[in-house]
């Protein structure tokens, strides 16, 4: 049996499922197969009002990867906020930069906090190698501006997601935009000092520690490299056995 035949069998099982539990199980099996042909069915499962099926579909779409991005972007249901949140989560997990505009819009303006949270998290998982080298700095600057804004969201779960993304962005721009790194550290410190939610402040402390560890490694990396390449000391004359 080839992949196409297997996909049709598994897709039929999803379509014929007659209970919530069977639907969830069928979507899980379809997602686990990781077959490209299953993408439309997995996307449809995001809107079934079945959390088990939606979680499995998201995992399957992430595993399938980049080929799932165009149909995800085309088929996101603007009126079904549950499905939109799951779709954003899938796009965030894939990390494809083609979803950047969608993530920007969702993180800044969507009225659903679950959508804003997923989008904010996705801005920290982008695959920067997909961005043309000449555009990396400008795109990272856009992401930075967006995250600084999102980190002021009224919902703590969105701010929490923004902190995780600021952490990964700080590490990413340490080389490309070192002059902008202080904006992230300043924002994190401000959140630590003023945010009303303990969970957010705890996540900020963790982010600060990770960023400091990265900075420490970068400071000492050149020294370690030099030490690794030093020429071994030659014993002085007369120092060996006679």
- Whether the pLDDT of residue 232 is over 60: the answer is no
What average pLDDT score do residues 120-135 get? 92
Q: According to the model, what pLDDT value does residue 75 have? A: 77
- Whether the pLDDT of residue 50 is over 60: the answer is yes
Q: According to the model, what pLDDT value does residue 78 have? A: 62
Q: According to the model, what pLDDT value does residue 217 have? A: 74
- Whether the pLDDT of residue 60 is over 80: the answer is yes
Cβ–Cβ under 8 Å, residues 46 and 58: yes
Q: What is the pLDDT of residues 18-44, one digit of tens each?
A: 999 999 999 999 999 999 999 999 999
Identify the residue with better confidence: 151 or 81.
Answer: 151
- What's this model's pTM, rounded to 2 decimal places? 0.80
Cβ–Cβ under 8 Å, residues 50 and 57: no
What average pLDDT score do residues 73-79 get? 74
Three-state DSSP at 157 gives helix
Please, what is the Cα angle at 77 between 105 and 47, to 5 degrees? 125
What average pLDDT score do residues 86-93 get? 91
What average pLDDT score do residues 162-178 get? 93
CA 102, CA 238: separation in Å to the nearest integer?
Answer: 73
- Whether the pLDDT of residue 153 is over 90: the answer is yes
Q: According to the model, what pLDDT value does residue 236 have? A: 44
Q: Output the six-digit token pair for 220.
A: 């000492």
Identify the residue with better confidence: 228 or 139.
Answer: 139
Q: What is the pLDDT of residues 178-231, one digit of tens each?
A: 889 999 999 999 999 999 999 999 999 999 999 999 877 765 554 444 444 444
What average pLDDT score do residues 105-109 get? 92
What average pLDDT score do residues 74-89 get? 79
Where does the pLDDT of residue 95 fall: very low under 50, low under 70, confident under 90, or very high at 90 and above?
very high
Identify the residue with better confidence: 145 or 241.
Answer: 145
Q: According to the model, what pLDDT value does residue 218 have? A: 65
| Closest C-alpha among 15, 70, 74 to residue 48 | 15
- Whether the pLDDT of residue 117 is over 50: the answer is yes
CA 32, CA 26: separation in Å to the nearest integer?
Answer: 10
Distance of CA 205 to CAs 27, 164, 186, 199, Å? 39, 11, 13, 10
CA 61, CA 51: separation in Å to the nearest integer?
Answer: 15
Q: According to the model, what pLDDT value does residue 219 have? A: 58
């Amino acid at each position: 049996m080839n992949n196409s035949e297997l996909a049709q069998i598994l897709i039929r099982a999803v379509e014929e499922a007659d209970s919530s539990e069977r639907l969830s199980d069928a979507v899980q099996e379809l997602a686990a197969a990781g077959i490209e042909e299953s993408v439309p069915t997995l996307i449809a499962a995001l809107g079934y009002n079945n959390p088990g099926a939606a979680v499995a579909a998201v995992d399957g779409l992430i595993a399938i990867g980049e080929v799932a991005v165009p149909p995800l972007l085309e088929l996101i249901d603007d009126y079904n906020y549950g499905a939109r949140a799951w779709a954003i989560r899938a796009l965030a997990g894939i990390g494809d930069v083609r979803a950047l505009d969608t993530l920007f819009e969702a993180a800044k303006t969507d009225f659903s906090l679950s959508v804003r949270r997923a989008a904010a998290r996705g801005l920290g998982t982008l695959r920067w190698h997909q961005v043309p080298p000449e555009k990396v700095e400008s795109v990272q600057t856009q992401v930075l501006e967006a995250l600084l804004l999102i980190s002021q969201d009224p919902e703590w779960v969105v701010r929490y997601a923004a902190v995780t993304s600021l952490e990964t962005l700080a590490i990413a721009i340490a080389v490309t935009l070192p002059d902008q790194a202080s904006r992230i550290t300043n924002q994190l410190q401000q959140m630590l000092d003023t945010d009303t939610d303990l969970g957010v402040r705890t996540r900020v402390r963790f982010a600060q520690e990770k960023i400091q560890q990265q900075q420490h490694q970068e400071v000492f990396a050149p020294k370690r490299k030099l030490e690794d390449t030093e020429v071994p000391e030659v014993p002085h004359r007369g120092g060996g056995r006679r």
